[in-house]
Amino acid sequence: MESIVSVSASVVPLTSFPSPFKPSMDTPNAAAPMDLAQLVETLERELGRDPELAIKHKPKIQQLLEDFPVNMEELQRFAHFDPSRNYTRNLISTDNETYALMLLCWNRGKYSPIHDHPTDGCWVKVIQGHVNEVRYQKQDDQLVETSNIVLTSGVTYMDDSLGLHKVGNPSQDCDAISMHLYSPPYEKCRVWFDTKDAEKSSVSVANYYTEYGEKVEYA
């Protein structure tokens, strides 16, 4: 097992929700920092470009996320914690076809289960605090840890060709927030709870805690 390294750097279908972000008719000042609406607009454009090109070969996506300045005043409406959960998934924007952009709010010391990615690609940007990513590969009948990093800034990329992973907040003192971009959106993934049994997994439904800043009430 590798040492931890600190680096900077219910089925609810995705129905057609109106995005709160509308394309701007103005050309943004190149010197001005990108706001959230501009990020969404640019991501939609880049994800729709060259559809035959694999997501992993679109480096501008990661660069856009890396360059996006963290403004908690702008992101506050999407940052919702729930002490009864390990973390919450808060939808920022989606077109229901090519992407879903969301904030994940992590309680202290809490993690996701180990999971796969039924998407072409997933990017994670640290917004606040520390985010721990642990990656695994299937080896014989076990899940073997291949990397373990603590992110304090920057963006990381993941897809199934790179293995499985879990993400969480390693701190017992501070909450954490991360921005996740999935392309395309997904409703379910497979999760593992026992690293000694790689063949035993279950299906997890990806519910949103909030959508566009509003709490989702499930029946």
Residue 93 sits at φ, ψ, to 5 deg, of -160, 150
From residue 44, how far is each of 19, 37, 38, 48, 105 by CA, in Å? Answer: 12, 11, 10, 6, 24
117 is in an annotated binding site: yes
Q: Which of 91, 112, 97, 102 is nearest to 216 (CA)?
A: 91
Q: Is 115 annotated as a binding residue?
A: yes
Q: Is 142 exposed, middle or buried (0-12, 13-18, 19+ CB in 10 A)?
A: middle
Rounded Cα distance, 43 and 24, in Å: 14
Nearest of 80, 86, 85, 109 to residue 173 by alpha carbon: 109
Peptide bond into 184 cis (omega under 30): yes
d(CA 181, CA 186): 11
Q: Which residues are annotated as a binding site?
A: 115, 117, 165
Q: Which residues are annotated as a binding site for Fe cation?
A: 115, 117, 165
